[in-house]
Amino acid sequence: MSRKYFGTDGIRGTIGKFPMTPDFALKLGWAAGKVLSNNSNPLAVIGKDTRISGYMLESALQAGLVAAGLDILLVGPMPTPAVSYLTRTFRASAGIVISASHNPYYDNGIKFFSANGTKLDDAIEMKIEAYLEKDIVTVSSDYLGKAVRVEDAAGRYIEFCKRSVPAEMSLNGLRLVVDCANGATYHVTPSVLEELGAEVIPIYNEPNGVNINKECGATSLSNLQKNVKTYRANVGIALDGDGDRLMMVDEQGDVVDGDEIIAILAKHRLEHESLSGDVVGTLMSNLGLEKAIQNMHVGFRRANVGDRYVMEQLRACNGVLGGEGSGHIIIRDRIETGDGTIAALQVLHAMVVSGKTLHELKQVMEKYPQILINVPIQKKINLDKAKGIQASVKNVEEKLGNKGRVLLRASGTEPLIRVMVEGEDLMVITELAEQIAEAVRKAS
């Protein structure tokens, strides 16, 4: 059965429109509480990013969870991976994050972690959806939950991040520009890096409820590139609104994306005998990453798009490193979910140990040109049954032969069809990608 409400990363939408409404959030809190509650410790941790709508959804979720009999720990604005960590630290039944990640402020979302700090699998999400079809039944007054605020949540997470690198590692001498996307990392990531000795120049670290991800963060790097050059920084670090993505800029002002970060970390870990299992990318990972990993004589796997599916593959092969080109990097022996701050620390550690610049380190991988076109759609399209689209894809694949690849997929979070074409010649693949995109537009 397909899920009705959950997408690839929780439930997401525009505020004020179903399902991002107070009444749905209340019902969702109750349903999740019924499914996820651990009778020995019925407790949920709730964090959020800096969107103004977070207050509304937080209150509604609280009411539903309390009605289901769960106590609540409110940690305020915190990165998504911090909620994963705190859920495990407090031995909670569940962790909940109110965030739409890299989306604009007028969107929001709700995503869940299990007691182990991992994203929920499809079967659990289906159980929550089943409860959403039922009427709310409030537990008796003797068993109602209560909510308290955790005052030291940020400090706990800062120390956790610092422990992800060797105690003797120092960032003294490194100048870092850190773009916090006016999001959930604004009060933690600069502190982590400063406490490890770096000179930190924070930008976009003044959230006001509506400026999250606005021309900044991991999905908008031009201002970070300019600042790296202006301040003659060693590295630029860009996080997204909820802190689970990382993109970087090297000292020359060039972007270092998630695929390149994975290649850098794979080589570093291989050299220091801390790489186990296969490296896991996704269907969208650049062909250059696959070849770089294979040149290291390490296995490479492609998962479906979404960090939850990367994690499934990592567990299957007992791997420790995987992620997406968009910047979700999972370093499984550090934390069981994507964490932009911890991933950045691992890259900085590789720089310190090797004595190389970020630009030098990224030469481990040669990127293939890759064109991605996001085509807005007005209605759902069954890509497998759309004859015009399939004919266009077949035509392009025949032209590419074995020197490239095509991937079409529907976004799990937005009304888009993503058209990706990869190959050796940028001009050629740009034209081919546009051919398929036009076929998608006609079908919608």
Report whether CATH 3.30.70.360 matches the domain 257-364.
no
Smallest CA-to-CA distance from 81 within 285, 270, 340 is with: 340
**Whether the predicted pLDDT of 312 surpasses 90:** yes
Helix axes 287-295, 258-271, angle to 10 degrees: 10
Q: The domain 11-151 belongs to what CATH superfamily?
A: Alpha-D-Glucose-1,6-Bisphosphate, subunit A, domain 3 (3.40.120.10)
Q: What is the mean pLDDT of the chain?
A: 95
Residue 274, pLDDT > 60, answer: yes
- For 175-189, what is the mean pLDDT? 98
The reported pLDDT for the residue numbered 403 is 81
Quick one: average pLDDT of 93-102?
96
The architecture (CATH level 2) of 157-255 comes to: 3-Layer(aba) Sandwich (3.40)
Active site residue 191: no
DSSP annotation string for 279-310: EEEETTS-HHHHHHHHHTT--EEEEPSSHHHH
pLDDT tens per residue, range 212-234:
999 999 999 999 999 999 999 99
CA 229, CA 413: separation in Å to the nearest integer?
A: 34
Question: Residue 359 above 90 pLDDT?
Answer: yes
For the beta carbon of residue 121, count every other beta carbon within 10 angstroms.
12
Asked if the model's pLDDT at residue 421 lies above 70, the reply is yes
pLDDT at residue 7 in the model: 87
pLDDT of residue 402: 77
DSSP label at residue 7: B
- Burial degree of 137 (CB within 10 A; 0-12, 13-18, 19+): exposed
In the structure encoding, which two tokens stand for residue 331, read together? Answer: 């370093």
- Per-residue pLDDT at 1 exceeds 60: no
- pLDDT, residue 226, reads 98
Contacts for 321 with CB less than 8 Å, ≥ 6 apart = 262, 265, 266, 269, 275, 279, 280, 314, 330, 331, 332
Average confidence (pLDDT) over 122-151: 96
The angle, 0 to 180 degrees and rounded to 10, between the axes of the packed helices 153-162 and 340-354 is 30
Question: Is 246 within 8 Å of 234 (Cβ atoms)?
Answer: no
pLDDT tens, residue by residue, 107-120: 999 999 999 999 99
The CA distance from 438 to 444, in Å, is: 10
Going by C-alpha positions, the residue among 404, 406, 394, 407 that lies closest to residue 425 is: 404
The CATH superfamily label for domain 370-443 reads Alpha-D-phosphohexomutase, C-terminal domain (3.30.310.50)
Mean pLDDT of 192-209: 98
Alpha-carbon distance of 171 to 201, in angstroms, equals 14
SS3 call for 131? helix
What's the whole-number mean pLDDT along residues 287-315? 94
| CATH 3.30.310.50 location in the chain | 370-443
Tens-place pLDDT, residues 330-355: 999 999 899 999 999 999 999 999 99
Pairing of strands 416-423, 300-303: unpaired
Task: Specify the amino acid at residue 127.
Answer: K
Domain boundaries for CATH 3.40.120.10 within the chain:
11-151, 157-255, 257-364
Q: How many other CB atoms are found less than 10 A from the CB of residue 35?
A: 20
Q: Which of 53, 101, 164, 191 is catalytic?
A: 101
For 169, counting Cβ atoms within 10 Å of its Cβ (0-12 exposed, 13-18 middle, 19+ buried), the class is middle
The predicted pLDDT at position 232 comes to 98
Buried b / exposed e over 235-267, threshold 16 CB at 10 Å, is bbbbbbbbbbbbbbbbbebebbbbbbbbbbbbb
Average pLDDT over residues 236-260: 98
